[in-house]
Amino acid sequence: MPELPEVETIYLGLQKRIIGLEIKNIKLLQPKSFIGDSKLLKGKKVLKVWRRAKILGIDLDGLTLLIHLKMSGQLVFQGKENFVGGHPTLDMIGPMPHKHTRVVFEFNNGSHLYFNDLRRFGWIKVIGNSKLKIEKLLGNLGPEPLEKDFTWQILRTNLLRHRNMPVKVVLLDQKVVSGIGNIYASEACFNAKLDPRKKVGNLTDGQFKKLHKGIIKALSDGIRYGGSTRAHFVDAEGQKGYFLDYAFVYGRDKKPCKKCGSLIEKIQLVGRGTYWCKSCQKK
């Protein structure tokens, strides 16, 4: 599910909640979702939370957890704060653990972090926290699109490794630029007024520049509105995100374009739904 804005939203929420807490116990309700020795985590304190691309990192003393939520993963924190008058405020997802809860972290102050994942594509990995090892695991990822060093020229160079493919398809390649998924790829093309089917090799420099801006706008808006909830996404507090209310094309099949009024179309590109406005977006 989550793309960069959703993972960023969870990261921001977790950071407020779990820094300094000590892991008292960990329960694996679905052993396949957890890679490594979970016993190593007992008694460890949470030092830092971070995000790289669509991956969340949690640094403990001497260890790091890497978490990928894939299509349907959720990481929800539940502490006293989520209860008002004895009732949980997590009505979006109901009481936990539940049917789709795969891993439960219990902290020393009685709070819990739940990893729910309906489709079971997601995972949590324990690794040693040597910088080298982490860099090796994350080393293939392309640039972070919201960092200053992500320039339109870098975007151009990386995209041009796939000159014969449709631009929207290449935006999904995590080695080209990291963190973009199916929602924000369509949105970025709309922002850039670019036909998602256009072959990368045929883009002009002007279009690479617009696409660079369009990517940053789509992802920043995603974060601003707390991410996109299509079906499963919730933040670390169990609340949904509202970006899709502000999206220009994603999920707006047959609805009027917010800029020009013509109907948004849905097509398939390499098997994935792609939304675009035929009159705003040109070759």
Q: Which of residues 104-123 bind DNA (CB under 7 A)?
A: 118-121
In 3D space, the residue among 94, 31, 24 whose CA is nearest the CA of residue 60 turns out to be: 24
Query: Which one of 44, 52, 54, 252 is the catalytic residue?
Result: 54
- Least distance to DNA from the beta carbon of 9, Å? 10
Does 97 sit behind a cis peptide bond, omega within 30 degrees of 0 on the bond before it? yes
92 binds DNA (CB under 7 A): no
How far is residue 165's CA from residue 161's CA, in Å, rounded to a whole number? 10
32 binds DNA (CB under 7 A): yes
Longest dimension (CA), the chain: 60
**Could you tell me which stretch among 35-43, 127-135, 177-185, 209-217 binds DNA (CB under 7 A)?**
177-185
Per CB under 7 A, the list member of 181, 196, 226, 238 interacting with DNA is 181
Crossing angle, helix 4-18 and helix 205-224, to 10 degrees? 40
Q: Which is nearer to DNA, 44 or 179 (CB)?
A: 179
| Residue 71 near residue 121, CB atoms below 8 Å | yes
**Known catalytic residue at 2:** yes
- Least distance to DNA from the beta carbon of 86, Å? 28
166 binds DNA (CB under 7 A): no
**Known catalytic residue at 272:** yes
Residue 282 neighbours by CB distance under 10 Å: 10
Task: Identify the helix (H) or strand (E) that includes residue 153.
Answer: helix 152-159
Crossing angle, helix 152-159 and helix 205-224, to 10 degrees? 110
In 3D space, the residue among 213, 227, 169, 173 whose CA is nearest the CA of residue 195 turns out to be: 169
Q: Which is nearer to DNA, 5 or 107 (CB)?
A: 5
Residue 239 neighbours by CB distance under 10 Å: 20
Site string for DNA, 58-77 (x = CB under 7 A): ----------x-xxx-----
**Known catalytic residue at 3:** yes
Q: Which is nearer to DNA, 177 or 257 (CB)?
A: 177
172 binds DNA (CB under 7 A): yes
Write out the residues near DNA by the rule CB under 7 A: 1-3, 6, 32, 53-54, 68, 70-72, 99-100, 118-121, 162, 164-165, 172, 174, 181-183, 227-233, 268, 270-273
